[in-house]
Amino acid sequence: MITMSDVAKEAGVSVMTVSRVVTGTGYVKEGTRKKVLRAMKNLNYKPKRMATGSLETEATTLALIVPDITNPFYTFVARGMEDVARKNGYRVFIANTDENLRKESEYIEMCVSLNADGVLMAPVGDMSADNLTLLQRANIPFVLIDRLVSGVDADIVKGDITAASYTLVKHLLSLSHHHIAIVTGPLDSDSSRERLHGYKKAIEEKAIAFDERLVIESVMTRNVDTRFVDDLLELDQPPTALFVANLFQYAHVFNALKERNLRIPNDMSVVCFGNSDTLAGADSLATCAIQPTYNFGSLGTQLLIERIEGNPDRIRKIILEADILYRGSTAPLQN
């Protein structure tokens, strides 16, 4: 038979604390109360007596809100989150925004209506600030991943995107490519601006003039419109290399160049941000930056649980470095 002592051991608290939660008497911190309720649920503990009313069995649910779960980047985030959440007795549900602010708003409203315990989120962009305000008003803790939001000071786990972008572009420059185009995501997103910042830093070091015609904004989902490839190739001085935002863009550019009888890297060198795991990208030819996105999910969830159960008195920011893999999509510039 499961006893209060078993529950106390599971929750890491005293038997007296468990008793207070069960009977509804005495003060117990909200985070501690949730630990006890979760331990009771995990052990299937049934109190013999309860205080007036009934002991509320609270849902211990976390939400993961991401742009596109079919993107391996967010698949690894989800796995990292689930592993940590399950160890701590939480369930996870996943929502896709498709980089759409309205869908993001709908999912956040759902989190509020369901009284979710916390939210781990890769925001659409700067306009997500209003949606995050809804969570703040509902006292639902949240942690951001991958992208900052202007005006929102929150816990975040992200990569050093500027540094990785700088390294990728510097690699192209080392191969004598001095006319390099960049395809970003929407520039109302912090991660896209960081890519552009790293690009600018690298070319400025080589005293190469910044040319706005070589900067293309595109989506980072599966629905990439590659008409920009023709726009770039029709310039009076077309680029000899491309820095694209992710593997979705890389795949579309690869196909667009192939349709025009151009080959990577013979006719165009290409670098990008790639899959989040060397195994997942084993068959890829792309020279790319690999971010540890499993850790985005696992560390972000740990910060979220700490925020739910302990309310830290400071904002935490974890910045993780990317690995650069040099593969077959780049080659020295040929005359």
Q: Smallest Cα–Cα separation from 8: which of 38, 39, 29, 50? A: 39
pTM for the model stands at 0.81
Q: Is 76 helix (H, G, I), strand (E, B) or coil?
A: helix
- Give the pLDDT score at 90: 87
Q: Which residues contact 275 (CB under 8 A, 6 or more apart)?
A: 72, 73, 247, 281, 284, 288, 290
Domain spanning 61-158+292-320: which CATH class is it, in words?
alpha beta
Q: Is 240 helix (H, G, I), strand (E, B) or coil?
A: coil
DSSP string, 300-328: HHHHHHHHHHH--SS--EEEEPPEEE--T
- Give the pLDDT score at 286: 92
Query: 161-291: same fold as 61-158+292-320?
Result: yes
Q: Which whole number is the average pLDDT over 257-284?
A: 84
Q: Is the pLDDT of residue 81 over 50?
A: yes
Point out the least confidently predicted range of 149-153, 193-197, 225-229, 295-299: 149-153
Higher-pLDDT residue of 262 and 60 is: 262
In degrees, to the nearest 5, what angle opens at C-alpha 333 toward C-alphas 331 and 335? 140
Q: Is the pLDDT of residue 152 over 70?
A: yes
9-44 b/e (C-beta count within 10 Å ≥ 16 → b): ebbebeeebbbbbbeeeeebeeebbbbbbbbbeeee
Q: Is the pLDDT of residue 97 over 90?
A: yes
- Give the pLDDT score at 278: 61
Domain boundaries, the chain: 1-58, 61-158+292-320, 161-291
Q: Which whole number is the average pLDDT over 188-201?
A: 96
Q: Is 132 helix (H, G, I), strand (E, B) or coil?
A: helix
Question: Is domain 1-58 classified as CATH 1.10.260.40?
Answer: yes
Q: Is the pLDDT of residue 40 over 90?
A: no
pLDDT tens digits, one per residue of 4-38: 778 888 888 887 788 778 767 667 888 888 888 88
Q: How far, in Å, CA of 228 to CA of 65, rounded?
A: 30
Q: Which whole number is the average pLDDT over 204-226?
A: 95
pLDDT tens digits, one per residue of 231-242: 999 999 999 999
Question: Is domain 161-291 classified as CATH 3.40.605.10?
Answer: no
Sheet holding 287-290, edge to edge: 215-217, 180-184, 241-244, 269-273, 287-290, 323-325
Q: Which whole number is the average pLDDT over 28-56?
A: 72
Q: Which whole number is the average pLDDT over 146-165?
A: 95
Cβ-count burial of 121 within 10 angstroms (0-12 exposed, 13-18 middle, 19+ buried)? buried
Q: How far, in Å, CA of 218 to CA of 186, rounded?
A: 6
